Amino acid sequence: MERLGSLTNDPFGKPPCRGCSSYLTEPYIKCAECGPSSVLLCLQCFTRGFEYKKHQSDHKYEIMTSDFPVLEPGWTAQEEMALLEAVMDCGFGNWHDVAYQMRTKTKEECESHYMKNFINNPLFSSTLLGLRKTKDSHFADGAIPFRSSDDPPRPTFDSMLSRDMAGYMPARADFMEEFDNYAEWDLKDIDFVDDDSDILRALKLAVVDIYHSRLKERQRRKKIIRDHGLINLRKFQMEFELRREIRRLQEYRKAGIKSFCSAKVYERVKRMREDERRKRTMLCDVLQYIQDGKACQQWLSKQAAIDAGVTPAVTTITVSATGRRSAPPLNLTGLPGTEKLNEREKELCQVVRLVPGAYLEYKQALLSECKRQGGLRLAQARALIKIDVNKTRKIYDFLIKEGSITKA
């Protein structure tokens, strides 16, 4: 007969009895001969001599209980698990709540035991360090290398997973957008001819040398990504989750919250506050229809029906007196490249309804062409970027006003 810690995969930590199907409470009986799935019995079924298939009442058995000390006398294994669960529920440092949840220990005993055995214990610290090294080596082994013969994930273009992989294309072992992506623009018009002067030829060779140095920088960055496994999705996702949890905990600490129970109340009140704020800022949404009285009235009626919990009638917003309906501003939240724009550029992309990534490409193309020719005309800009002519004009006028380009 042995005293063993209870190990179970049941979500409640209480495996069912094979005889009466009730959840077991310690102590209970485990058959030492039946396997691979163990036969577990409560004391009542065991004393009645319950038998099941190959299990016989005269088999050897073990008494399963956690009523024995593990780390120090006076603390049973069951109390150790209860302490860890209480600290997880109430938060580190809330010893009064931890002791109230445990019932069997005072807050001083809980604090002293936890600090001694789980914080200041060298054996526990070395175990955590070993687990961390094992996890780091696991991530290093699972990093996605630059080998096109492998079969890494192939997300669709512009999907969330593709953005998480920084535009990495596994089939080609390359990136959709390179570092210093427009380095080739400075070379596209260079042509070596026999009648070049020595100075002009030296200048062209210098441009080529600069381009080679930029290519070396690309390769250096790719080597860093390959050697350190920076395209490892699992590592990226774990880091993202940790950063999000840290920001959430910092928000709780700033608000003076020290327990998970208070955090739940805080999140509920925060959602209510945000809902009220959205209702108070409805005027911002209606500004796009302010010049069309009928369309504005239809929109307000629809919002009132939504707030009242009634399904709004399907209505068509009429066009304005000019014969055209202005589209609502583009929402830039979550779009790649938004963080690279200043406030005026964000406003331009919203009005023109142009995604930040495309705007940055068009801007770089116009700047390079203007620098090459010493100026740029609107017709040249329209020939350079093949989009709607009205959008091109707005981008061109904006860059002129900002002083980024000059007229030819």
The 28-31 sheet, strands edge to edge: 3-4, 61-64, 28-31, 40-41
Beta bridge partners of 142: none
Q: Are 352 and 391 in contact (CB under 8 A)?
A: yes
Element at 4 (helix H, strand E): strand 3-4
Domains and CATH numbers, the chain: 1-68 (3.30.60.90), 77-140 (no CATH), 243-307 (no CATH), 338-402 (1.10.10.10)
pLDDT tens, residue by residue, 249-279: 888 888 888 888 888 888 888 888 887 777 6
- Please list the ranges in the chain whose pLDDT falls under 50: 1-12, 138-151, 314-323
pLDDT tens digits, 275-296: 777 766 665 655 555 556 666 6
Query: Strand, coil or helix: what is 362?
Result: helix
Residues 6+ apart with CB under 8 A from 402: 344
**What is the model's pTM?**
0.28
The rounded Cα 64 to chain-centroid distance in angstroms is 42
What whole-number distance in Å separates Cα of residue 285 and Cα of residue 280? 11
Residues 6+ apart with CB under 8 A from 136: none
> Which amino acid would we find at residue 305?
A
Beta bridge partners of 175: 168
Paired with 63 in beta bridges are 3, 29
112, 178, 253, 267 from 97: Cα distances, Å: 15, 54, 18, 20
Which two structure tokens, joined as six digits, stand for 203? 């200048």
In the chain, helix, strand, coil percent, each to 5? 55, 5, 40
- pLDDT at residue 148, rounded to an integer: 37
* Cβ count within 10 A of residue 226: 16
Distance CA 110, CA 346 (A): 54
Distance of CA 108 to the CA centre of its chain: 39
Radius of gyration of the CA atoms of the chain, in A:
34
Q: Residue 86's closest CA among 70, 102, 71?
A: 102
What percentage of the chain exceeds 90 in pLDDT?
Answer: 1
Q: Are 378 and 363 in contact (CB under 8 A)?
A: no
For residue 333, with 0-12 CB atoms within 10 Å meaning exposed, 13-18 middle and 19 or more buried, which class applies?
exposed
Residue type, 246: I
pLDDT digits (tens, 9 = 90+) for 120-150: 776 665 555 555 555 555 444 444 444 433 4
Answer whether 109's CB lies under 8 Å from 150's CB: no
Find, among 210, 205, 223, 206, the residue nearest to 184 by Cα: 210
Strand bridging mode 168-169 / 174-175? antiparallel
Quote the CA–CA distance of 103 and 124 in Å, as a whole number.
Answer: 26
Take residue 343 and report the two structure tokens written for it: 């406030």
